[in-house]
Structure 1
Amino acid sequence: MQNSPSLEIALGAINNALRQHIHHYLSQASIHLSGPQSQLLVLISDRPGSCARQLGTVAGRDKATVTRHLAALVAQGWVTRHTDPNDGRRQILALSADGKQLLAKVKKARADAYRQVFSPLESNDKAALVALLEKCRNR
């Protein structure tokens, strides 16, 4: 009887599958964004008034990495930054008009990728998986 894969191997394989599927579905939709850039676009939409540090916390990425990905999104004209009137050190992020138009295609591509990877799971299994992962993340 073959041993079950370790948690490390199983999570690594799922992470790789998600990255590959996200890349595939973004490319198929002619969206030239990386997986992390597409995730940030969605997070900016879902969390109005956020800054890079806050998005990094939600995404589990360090601020420097988030800032690098955001620079590309700003350069493409999909994201805007403006200084927080209450804290001059903080840059508030928002989607531009072009970013808002791109968002629907990005959300569909990402949803298709997740649906593909997690299709073997029933809804209650997905909810349980999310709860377990959040428990680890919020330790």
Structure 2
Amino acid sequence: MDQAATAEQGSPLLQDQLCFALYAASRAVTARYRPLLEELGLTYPQYLVMLALWDRDSVSVRELGAALQLESSTLSPLLKRLEAGGLIHRERRADDERSIAVRLTRAGSDLREQARTVPAAIGEAMGLTPEQDATAKHLLRLLTANVTHG
């Protein structure tokens, strides 16, 4: 590791902190999503839930929480709001009364078509090449795994 990189890791300066770069990037990206998602009637966390359900309808709350890396106490209010909005339905699983299945309603399924333009709009706003996009995702997943399991 070179001397400049070592100095930055121990630097007390805000602009040298990886945590701040992640925080600022996350806020900027989430803010860019906001107007696109308002047209769909969704918040960013609700959009993430819908993405997970569009990928795989009928999942347990536990599976959904694991996929989104959310605690039940955070996920439950999101699901209640989506259910009140007519986008999902929750019901006890027949094969396991302790487990609750989350399913898309017709309106929830139909919303997927309206949301198809969101990823491209965000991708364009980010301005990354396909290689940079893949590298960024790889590094962020690695960082998450390292911090979570380290």
| Superposition TM-score tier, normalisation by shorter sequence | 0.7 to 0.9
TM alignment of 1:82-121, pairs within 5 A: 82-116=91-125, 118-119=126-127, 121=128
Q: Is the 8 A contact 2:92 2:101 kept in 1?
A: yes
Counterparts of 1:136 and 1:33 in 2: how far apart (Å)?
28
Q: Is the 8 A contact 2:58 2:104 kept in 1?
A: no
Counterparts of 1:109 and 1:37 in 2: how far apart (Å)?
14
Q: Is the 8 A contact 2:30 2:44 kept in 1?
A: yes
* 2:140 pairs with 1:129: no
The answer to which structure, 1 or 2, has the higher relative contact order (CA under 8 A, 6+ apart) is 1
- The letter of the residue matching 1:56 is G
Q: Which residue of 2 aligns with 1:11?
A: 22
Gaps of 5+ in 1: none
Number of residue pairs matched by the alignment = 133
Counterparts of 2:116 and 2:48 in 1: how far apart (Å)?
9
Q: Is the 8 A contact 1:78 1:97 kept in 2?
A: yes
Query: Deviations 1:6-46 (Å, cap 9, x if unpaired)?
Result: 2111111111011111112122xx22211101110111111
Query: Deviations 1:61-87 (Å, cap 9, x if unpaired)?
Result: 211111110100011111012222221
- The letter of the residue matching 1:63 is S
Q: Which runs of 4+ in 1 moved over 6 A?
A: none
**TM-score, reference length from structure 1:** 0.84
SS in 1 for 2:101: strand
**TM-score, reference length from structure 2:** 0.79
Give me the identity figure in percent.
23
Gaps of 5+ in 2: 1-12
Counterparts of 1:111 and 1:43 in 2: how far apart (Å)?
18
Q: Which residue of 2 aligns with 1:80?
A: 89
